[in-house]
Amino acid sequence: MEPRGEVFILGLILSIIVLLISVMISVWARRFTRTLGDYYVAGRSIGAFNNGLAMVSLALSLTTFIGLTALIIEGLYVAVAVYASFTAAFIGLMVLAAPFLRRHKSFTTMAFIAERYDSSTLRYISVIVMFVVSVLYLGGNLKGIGIVFFFLLGVPEVVGIVVGGLVVTLYVTLGGMYGVTYNQTFQSVVLIFCLMFPVAIVLRVIGASGWYFPPLGYGALVPEMTQAVPHYFWAMVVHPVTYIAIFIGSFFGIIGLPHFVMRFFTVRDAKEARWSTVLCVFLVGLVNTTVYATGFAAVYYMQTQGVDIPSAAYDYVVFILVEAMAGEGWLALAVAGSVAAGLSTVAGLLMIMGAGLIHDLYGEIKKDVDDDKKLKLSYGAMLVVGVLVIIFSLNPPEFIPEAIMWSFGIAAAGLGVPIVMGIWWKRTNKYGAGVGMVVGFLLSFYCWLLIGYLGMDPVEIPFPFFAKYFYGPLGWIKTFSVIGPLTFIITIVVSWLTPPPPEHVQRQVEEMHGWVDVDPKRYNGKGLPITIIVLSVVIMWFMTTLYDQFPK
Amino acid sequence: MDKETRRSYKIEVWVTAICFAIVAIFGGFFSSVVVILNERFFDRVPTPEALVAAYGETMFVFKEHLTVWGFPLHYFLLIIFSWIGATIIGAIWCIVMDRLEAKQRA
C-alpha cells in the first residue's frame, strides 16, 4: 500500500479524539488512586463487565487490524486455527488460573510466583522473563501505531510513535490501573464498533446476504468463492502437531503473559474474575470471526473483481476494502479503532513493566520501603518505562504477528507452567518450578534467537534429536510442542526428587481454591502429575511420527 | 475431609478437568483432527497448473454436501466451537464454581 500523500483530515480528527478521550479518562480516574493497591490493581474494585471489556482490548492488539487479515489471505486454515486457539485459551486461563490467582491477592505474576514458591530468586527470574515477553509483545505495537499514522493518516511515522507513546505513557502514569482499566473499557467499545460496522458495509457491497452479522454473514458467497479459489477452505496440510503446539503456546502462554494475568488481580472477587473471562471470550470471538469475514471479503473482492492487491499491502486490507467500498467516513472510523487497539495493548504492557520494576524488583531489594514511597516511585518509573518504550519503538523489529506468537511460547514455558502447577499441585516446590522455568525460558528464548531473530531455518538449529522435525511451513511453532511438555516434565520430576514445600506454602494452594480448612490430600495426588507426564511424552512422540506424509 | 467436602473437591477437580479437556479439543486438537481425517472433509482433485508448485499434483476441496449455513463443515465447526462453544463451556464452569463457592462459604 502506498503511503497517503496528503493528511487524511477526518481520520486524523477521529484519532485525536480517541487520544484526547484516553487522557481525559485517566485524569478523571486519577482521583481514585490513593494507595499502591489502587495504582497497581485498582483497589481490587473492578467489576466483571468492566474487566471483561478491558481484557478484550488487551487481547485485540493491532494484529487484529494489521496482520491477521494478511495471515488469512496467505493461509486461512492456519490463521483461523491460531485464532481459534487464542480465543478458547481464555477459557483455559479461567479454569486453570484466573479465580485462583485472584484469591491469592498478589499484585503481579512475579509476586505470585515468589510467594507461592517462597523464593526471592524465582521473583528475579520471573521479572526477567516478564521483561523479555513484554518487549517481544510490545515489539512493534507502538511501531504499528506509527505505521497507521503514516500509511493511513499521511502523518510521519515518527510523529505517530511519539504522540501515541506519549499519550499512552501519560495516561498510564497519571491514572494507574484505574486509568488503564477505564481506558481499555472505552477502547474496547471503540474498536468493536469501528471494526464491525465498516466490515458489515463491505459485506453488503460484495453481496453477502447476512451482511448485518459479519461473523457468519458470508456463507451464501462460499460457492462463488470456491469457483474462484478452490483451495480457499483447505486445511493447509502441516503436521497435525503444529496445531497442538499452537494450543500449548496459546493456552499456557496466555496464563504466562503477565499483562493478561494482572487483570485478574484488579477484580472484586473470584466470581467476577470468572464471569469477566466469559464476557471476554464471547467478544474476542465476535471480533475475530469478523476479521475472518474481512479476509474472506478481501480474497473474494480480488478474485471476482480482478483487483490486484499486492502481497505487501495485505496487512492493510481492512482499510483498503473499507475505503474502496464504504467510503472515507467509515475508513476514518476503522483507523480510529486501530489506534485504540494499539493504545490498549501498549498500556497493559507498560503497566506490568512498571509494576515489575518497582513492586517486584525494587520492593524485593529494598524491603523496608513503605508503600507511600513505592507509590511515588511508581509514577516516576512508569514515566521512565514509557519514554524508554518510545525510544525503542523508533527502531523496533518489524511489526509481525510471529513476534507475538513467540512471546506466547516463551511465556508458556517461563511463567505459564509454574503458575498452573503452583495452583493445582501442592507438591510443586521452588526447585522444580525454578529449574523448569529456567530451562523452559532459556530453550524457548534460544529458539526465538536463532529462528525468530537470526532467521535460521528451524531444521538447521542445534537442537538435539528434535531439530529435524521442525520442518515445513510454520515448522518453528513445533518448538512449543517440545519445550512446553519438557518444562512440565522437568518441573514435576525435580519437585518429586526434592523436599516438599513447607506447610505454610502448601496452605496457599488450599486458600487459592477457597477452602478454609486444610487437608493434606487435596491437590496432592499422583494422578495429575502422572497424567501430565504421559500426555507430554505422547505429544513429543507424536511430533516424530508421520514424517514422510507432510511437505518439508 | 468429611463426605460433603470431599464431594465438593471432586466436583471442582473433575468439572475443571472435563471443561479444560473440551476447550483444549475446541482450541487445538480439533484442528489436528481435521488434518488427520483430511479425506472425510475434503475431496482430492487435480491441482490447477498455476498452483502445482505450491500444492503438488493434487489438492483438496471441501465436500460440497458437508456445509452448514453455506460454510464448509470443518470451518464452521472450528469457528463456532472456539467461539460460542468455548463461551458456553466457560459459562457452565462458572455456574458450577459459583455454587461450590457458595457451599464453601456456608
- The Cα–Cα gap between A534 and A429 comes to 20
Instruction: Give the number of beta-carbon pairs within 8 Å between A and B.
Output: 185
Q: Hunting for cell 520442518 — which residue is that?
A: A471
Find the closest chain A residue to B73 by CA distance: A233
Find the closest chain B residue to A290 by CA distance: B79
- The Cα–Cα gap between A320 and A302 comes to 11
- The Cα–Cα gap between A464 and B24 comes to 29
CA neighbor of A342 nearest in space, from A60, A25, A8: A60
Q: Answer for the pair A47, A274: CB distance below 8 angstroms, yes or no.
A: no
Question: What pLDDT shows up at residue A496?
Answer: 96
Mean of the pLDDT values across residues B44-61?
76
Distances (CA, A) of B5 to A101, A505, B1, B14, B40: 22, 21, 6, 14, 46
Question: What pLDDT shows up at residue A172?
Answer: 86
Question: What pLDDT shows up at residue B44?
Answer: 82
Walk me through the domains of chain A, giving residue ranges and CATH numbers: 9-396 (1.20.1730.10)
Mean of the pLDDT values across residues B20-49?
85
Centre a 10 Å sphere on the Cβ of residue B14 and count the other Cβ atoms it contains. Answer: 10
Which residue in B75, B88, B92, B103 has the most chain A C-beta atoms within 10 A of its own C-beta, making it the best mutation to test that interface? B75
Find the closest chain B residue to A512 by CA distance: B101
Residues in contact with A285: Cβ distance below 8 Å, sequence separation at least 6, in sequence order? A87, B79, B82, B83, B84, B86, B87
N residues, chain B: 106
CA of A218 vs chain B CAs: smallest distance (Å): 8
What are the chain B neighbours of A230 within 8 Å (beta carbons)? Answer: 45, 48, 59, 61
Question: What pLDDT shows up at residue B54?
Answer: 66
Least CB-CB distance to A289: which of B28, B79, B101?
B79
Amino acid at B60: F
> Average pLDDT for consecutive 10-residue bins of chain A (552 residues)?
71 88 90 88 93 91 77 82 88 93 90 95 95 83 76 79 85 88 90 89 91 92 86 80 92 93 92 95 93 89 82 80 86 85 84 88 86 85 85 68 87 96 96 97 96 92 93 90 96 96 94 89 93 96 87 73
In sequence order, which ranges of A328-370 are alpha helices (DSSP H)?
A: 328-355, 363-365
pLDDT at B1 over 80: no
- The Cα–Cα gap between A80 and B36 comes to 17
Question: What pLDDT shows up at residue B45?
Answer: 82
Centre a 10 Å sphere on the Cβ of residue B52 and count the other Cβ atoms it contains. Answer: 13
Which residue in A233, A246, A282, A518 has the most chain B C-beta atoms within 10 A of its own C-beta, making it the best mutation to test that interface? A233
Residues in contact with A42: Cβ distance below 8 Å, sequence separation at least 6, in sequence order? A32, A176, A177, A178, A181, A266
Distance spanning both ends of chain A, measured CA to CA? 32
CB-based contact B19 A238, cutoff 8 Å: no
Pairing of strands B42-46, B58-62: antiparallel
Q: Answer for the pair A229, A299: CB distance below 8 angstroms, yes or no.
A: yes
CB-based contact B27 A87, cutoff 8 Å: yes
CB-based contact B81 A84, cutoff 8 Å: yes
Q: Answer for the pair A425, A513: CB distance below 8 angstroms, yes or no.
A: no
Question: What pLDDT shows up at residue A328?
Answer: 86
ipTM: 0.90
Question: What pLDDT shows up at residue A72?
Answer: 83
Question: What pLDDT shows up at residue A396?
Answer: 62
Question: What pLDDT shows up at residue A307?
Answer: 80
- The Cα–Cα gap between B78 and A483 comes to 26
What are the chain B neighbours of A221 within 8 Å (beta carbons)? Answer: 70
